[in-house]
Amino acid sequence: MPNTCFIPFKTTIPIDGIPQKFPSPFLENPHALCKAAVEDLQNYLKNPTDLTYDFGLNQPEGSLRIGKMFGVLVVQNRTKELGYLAAFSGKLANKNHHYRFVPPVFDSLKENSFLNIGMAELNQLNQAIKQLEKMPTWSAANELLAKTKKQAKKEIAELKGGLKQKEANRNKQRKLAKLNRTVEQLSILNTQLDKESVRDQKTIKKLNKRWKLKISQYKADLEEVSREINLLKDQRKKKSHGLQQQLFESYQFLNCAGESKSLRAIFQNAKPVSGAGECAAPKLLQYAFLNQLKPMALTEFWWGKSPKSANRKHGHFYPPCEEKCRPILGHMLAGL
């Protein structure tokens, strides 16, 4: 594979300026060589000749345009020449491949890939489910069940409210009776009030039972019409899970010893964070190992308008992200 992404430094780097050991990319202050590479890349980003992308720097407040995280990896080729590799996080202008920038670890946009075929199949299942859910029989059964549940809730609540008031009145009668009735009269009254209380409890139980039976009947009717929908949803769930697992296995990350690990193996029992493997740092190291380029130092920076959801400022350096990148880099940087 030709090193088309290798960008040599324009000036000679003195020996004492070359790091003897790969510095941690999680340090706040990048190596001087990284800063030189970043300066060169940023000069290109100011006036890119072959890249059409609006980083939002000249957009008014409220614009949806935002910047992008970039990374550089200083490397040494087989002839000991120093240069750097550049990468962007995720996609840029809805593309994975751009001049000067390393390719992704796994190309999710590749035509006729298992991912695109699988996503098309999932979309077909989604459309089929939507069509069935629009059918009059399903929507009518669903509406009737919802209406019945609402009516049951209202009627039960009203009855409970009335019975609660009756119970309060009985308690009041008991208190008054203690003041002006004989023991025998009080006993007769309490027996009468207790019977009323039992009748009220039976009334609420009967009402609950009646509505429960009615709702279960409507649920059975809905399940009958929903059987085909549920089968399709089950197919969709299995298809989605299988596609996700295949995707996790398709991200294979190398280290300097040539050892390869998938996303699933790196995250072990935990589910990989969404977007894991799409950041700049893993892309840079992967390209270096595939092309026999020796990694020397790495850093990332934000270029463009700041996003609302994260603390990112134009031109500032940032370490690789903790949740997505640290587990991956733990494997990729082993031995450096």
pLDDT reading at 244 higher than 70: yes
Residues above pLDDT 70, as percent of the chain: 96
The span from the first CA to the last CA of the chain, in angstroms, equals: 23
Q: What is the band of 153 on the pLDDT scale with cuts at 50, 70, 90?
A: very high
Output the CA angle 304-308-313, nearest 5 degrees: 40
**Res. 2: pLDDT tops 60:** no
> What does the pLDDT read at residue 16?
66
On average, the pLDDT of the chain sits at 88
Where in the chain are the domains? 7-106+259-332, 126-247
Strands 260-262 and 252-254: antiparallel
Query: What are the tens digits of pLDDT across the range 12-23?
Result: 776 667 888 899
Tell me how far apart the alpha carbons of residues 88 and 280 are, in angstroms, rounded to a whole number.
Answer: 5
Q: Give me the percent of the chain exceeding a pLDDT of 90.
A: 51
- As given in the structure block, the two tokens for residue 335 are 């031995």
pLDDT tens-digit profile of 55-98?
888 776 656 678 899 999 999 999 989 999 999 999 998 899 99
pTM of the full structure: 0.70
* 141 pLDDT tier (thresholds 50, 70, 90): confident
Band of the pLDDT at 290, cuts 50, 70, 90?
very high
Confidence class for position 10, pLDDT limits 50, 70, 90: confident
pLDDT for res 273: 84
The per-residue pLDDT for 283 is: 97
What whole-number distance in Å separates Cα of residue 231 and Cα of residue 238? 11
In this predicted structure, what is the pLDDT of residue 61?
64
Give the pLDDT confidence of 97-120 residue by residue, as tens digits.
998 999 999 998 888 889 889 999
Rounded distance between C-alpha atoms, residue 297 and residue 33, angstroms: 8
Find, among 273, 269, 271, 249, the residue nearest to 261 by Cα.
249
Q: What is the pLDDT of residue 1?
A: 38
What local confidence, expressed as pLDDT, does residue 72 receive?
97
pLDDT value for 63: 60
Q: Is 215 exposed, middle or buried (CB count within 10 Å of its CB: 0-12, 13-18, 19+)?
A: middle
Give pLDDT, residue 64: 65
Range with the lowest mean pLDDT among 135-144, 170-179, 208-217, 315-324? 135-144
The arithmetic mean of pLDDT across residues 204-212, rounded, is 91
